[in-house]
């Protein structure tokens, strides 16, 4: 059940992705996706999930070039010019108790966001083209 912070759901790229997902499966989207902030009105920043109830994962990476880094090679002795990377973490749980705790936390965060007013997620309107010069 994904949750996106209000501040992050309002960008044109994010709105386009969210509206496309919503258009493909409106009822599934409405049941599983929420836009909102945390119970303390902060950005919801949890990144992780539970897979089939048998493994859970969470970490600090943003799952994007800006969060993961660019120019990274796991095989090269030297990184590419312009190499940038953050120090991120990833925890993987296979203990049923830890999986249940994390799943409950995700359910709680989803419930908090889902209880907030949900924005209209239609794609941002196209910007008008400038008038041609004569």
CA 34, chain centre distance (Å): 11
The C-alpha R_g of the chain, in whole angstroms, comes to 19
- Among the listed residues 76, 83, 101, 81, the one whose alpha carbon sits nearest the alpha carbon of residue 91: 101
pLDDT tens series, the chain, 134 aa: 666 777 777 778 778 888 888 888 888 887 788 888 889 988 877 888 999 999 999 987 766 666 666 666 777 777 777 777 777 788 999 999 999 999 999 999 999 999 999 887 765 444 444 555 55
The two structure tokens encoding residue 11: 């960008």
Is 116 in contact with 36 (CB distance < 8 Å)? yes
- Name the phi and psi angles at 65, rounded to 5: -60, -40
């Amino acid at each position: 059940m994904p949750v996106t912070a209000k501040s992050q759901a309002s960008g044109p790229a994010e709105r386009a992705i969210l509206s496309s997902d919503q258009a493909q499966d409106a009822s599934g989207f409405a049941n599983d996706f929420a836009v909102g902030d945390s119970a303390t009105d902060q950005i919801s920043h949890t990144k992780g999930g539970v897979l089939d109830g048998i493994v859970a994962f969470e970490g600090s990476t943003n799952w994007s070039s800006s969060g993961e880094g660019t120019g990274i090679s796991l095989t090269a002795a030297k990184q590419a010019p312009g190499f940038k990377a953050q120090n991120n973490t990833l925890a993987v749980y296979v203990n049923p108790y830890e999986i249940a705790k994390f799943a409950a936390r995700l359910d709680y965060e989803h419930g908090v966001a889902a209880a907030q007013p949900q924005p209209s997620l239609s794609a941002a309107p196209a910007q008008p083209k400038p008038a041609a010069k004569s």
